[in-house]
């Protein structure tokens, strides 16, 4: 398996483009769901947002209005079409719809499926998973194909840590992070994309010489809906020309042009427990996180959306009257239509002073 994997790696070249950031205008903030709700997901078209409350999950229709209940309160993921909902339940993975009770989709395995580490394609036919195997004290990346009931390990069994599996809208492409792969590699692992149609695995984190970079660490890779771009964080020193110091930066890899672009630099060193990056269908906008001032003093984690073409960026959570929020921002999701859904613990975003899940539109 490792031999075939190594032979299928595709080399790519890199380039750099740096543009000064500008302001990005955004629409009114709207609160969705109960206070202190948790974001489950935003549909690809921006119409549906799923929110987990204290005792249930509701899917809200942002176009027609109203909401419907999802059978399981533990739901952690919604498919891109807003029709299926997923939950890792120990050694199995469950799926629910709006019309029926949950069913076990991924059967019992030696892997303990990690909470909130499930991703799906647009229709919920391909599922990305991260499993923990106590026998090896390691996490591994997998993909489950619902129609064929096929479970594929993306990262070799010798891998120490694998994480952040994301699936393109069609289900053909899967991005993931894997550390100590191949066996004997150094530093912080690597980011890969697997083409499930051809079986080819390509390296995303390549240096300016077109070789796999071993000079830094990587966090939170996410693949665009069309499967052709991957955003990620890294403190590597050889991914683009001029970025040679060990600071965390946001990058975008274009798999068609085989180029890596530096989007923004000097980010706070991210924790593995930070919210994941978000990217829209074409890879034209990316949501990322940095520490930023809040109105009560000091800094807290805040989400920003960045336009790739112009480098314009905007803080998602802004207080009434344009002041800084008075609390941190959590996970965010981004639709192709420009609608963004995000969590915030700030109580000054809307006049009701509710916290929880909010939406706004570019």
Question: For residue 100, what pLDDT is reported?
Answer: 73
Q: What is the mean pLDDT of residues 334-355?
A: 95
Considering the segment(s) 2-361 as one domain, its CATH architecture is: 6 Propeller (2.120)
Q: Which residue has the higher pLDDT, 243 or 101?
A: 243
Confidence of residue 4 (pLDDT cuts 50, 70, 90): very low
State pLDDT tens for residues 70-84: 877 788 899 999 999
Confidence of residue 249 (pLDDT cuts 50, 70, 90): very high
Is the distance from CB of 192 to CB of 208 less than 8 angstroms?
Answer: no
State pLDDT tens for residues 38-56: 999 999 999 999 999 988 8
Q: What is the mean pLDDT of residues 159-168?
A: 88
What sign has the CA pseudo-torsion 51, 55, 56, 61? negative
85 Cβ neighbours under 8 A, 6+ residues apart = 40, 50, 57, 59, 70, 72, 75, 77, 78, 79, 95, 96, 97
Pairing verdict, β 57-61 and 48-52: antiparallel
CA distance 125 to 286: 25
Whether 186 shows a pLDDT value over 60: the answer reads no
Question: For residue 236, what pLDDT is reported?
Answer: 93
Question: For residue 43, what pLDDT is reported?
Answer: 97
Residue 301's H or E segment, with its range, is: strand 299-307
Q: Is 253 helix (H, G, I), strand (E, B) or coil?
A: strand
Whether 269 shows a pLDDT value over 80: the answer reads no
Whether 164 shows a pLDDT value over 70: the answer reads yes
CA distance 69 to 283: 31
Residues β-bridged to residue 340: 334, 360
Query: 274: how many CB neighbours lie within 10 A of its CB?
Result: 17
The DSSP secondary structure of 84-120, one letter per residue, reads: EEEEEETTEEEEEESSS--EEEE---SSEEPTT--EE
Q: What is the mean pLDDT of residues 331-345?
A: 95
Percentage, residues of the chain above pLDDT 70 = 88
217 Cβ neighbours under 8 A, 6+ residues apart = 187, 188, 189, 234, 235, 236
* Residue written as token pair 């940095």: 290
Total residues belonging to the chain: 362
Whether 13 shows a pLDDT value over 50: the answer reads no
DSSP 170: T
């Amino acid at each position: 398996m490792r031999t075939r994997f190594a032979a299928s790696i595709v080399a790519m070249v890199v380039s750099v483009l740096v543009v000064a950031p500008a302001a990005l205008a955004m629409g009114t903030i709207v609160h969705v769901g109960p206070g202190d709700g948790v974001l489950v997901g935003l549909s690809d078209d921006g119409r549906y947002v799923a929110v987990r409350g204290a005792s249930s999950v509701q899917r809200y229709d942002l176009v027609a209005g109203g909401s419907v209940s999802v059978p399981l309160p533990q739901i952690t993921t919604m498919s891109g079409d807003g029709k299926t909902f997923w939950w890792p339940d120990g050694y199995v993975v469950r799926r629910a719809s709006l019309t029926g009770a949950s069913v076990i989709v991924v059967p019992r395995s030696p892997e303990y499926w990690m909470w909130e580490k499930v991703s799906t394609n647009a229709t919920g036919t391909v599922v990305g998973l991260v499993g923990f195997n106590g026998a090896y004290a390691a996490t591994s990346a997998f993909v489950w194909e619902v129609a064929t009931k096929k479970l594929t390990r993306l990262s070799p069994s010798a891998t120490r840590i694998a994480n952040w599996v994301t699936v393109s809208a069609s289900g053909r492409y899967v991005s993931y992070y894997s550390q100590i792969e191949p066996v004997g590699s150094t530093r912080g692992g690597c980011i890969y994309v697997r083409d499930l149609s051809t079986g080819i695995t390509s390296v995303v984190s390549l240096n300016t010489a077109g070789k796999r970079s071993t000079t830094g660490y990587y966090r939170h890779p996410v693949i665009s809906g069309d499967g052709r771009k991957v955003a990620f964080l890294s403190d590597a020193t050889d991914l683009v020309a001029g970025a040679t110091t060990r600071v965390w930066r946001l990058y975008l890899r274009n798999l068609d042009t085989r180029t890596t672009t530096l989007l923004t630099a000097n980010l706070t060193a991210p924790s593995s427990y930070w919210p994941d990056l978000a990217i829209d269908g074409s890879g034209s906008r990316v949501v990322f996180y940095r520490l930023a001032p809040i109105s009560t003093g000091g800094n807290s984690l805040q989400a920003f959306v960045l336009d790739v073409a112009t480098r314009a960026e905007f803080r998602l959570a802004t207080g009434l009257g344009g002041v800084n929020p008075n609390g941190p921002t959590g996970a965010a999701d981004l639709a192709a239509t420009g609608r963004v859904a995000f969590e915030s613990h700030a109580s000054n975003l809307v006049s009701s002073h509710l916290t929880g899940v909010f939406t706004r539109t570019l």
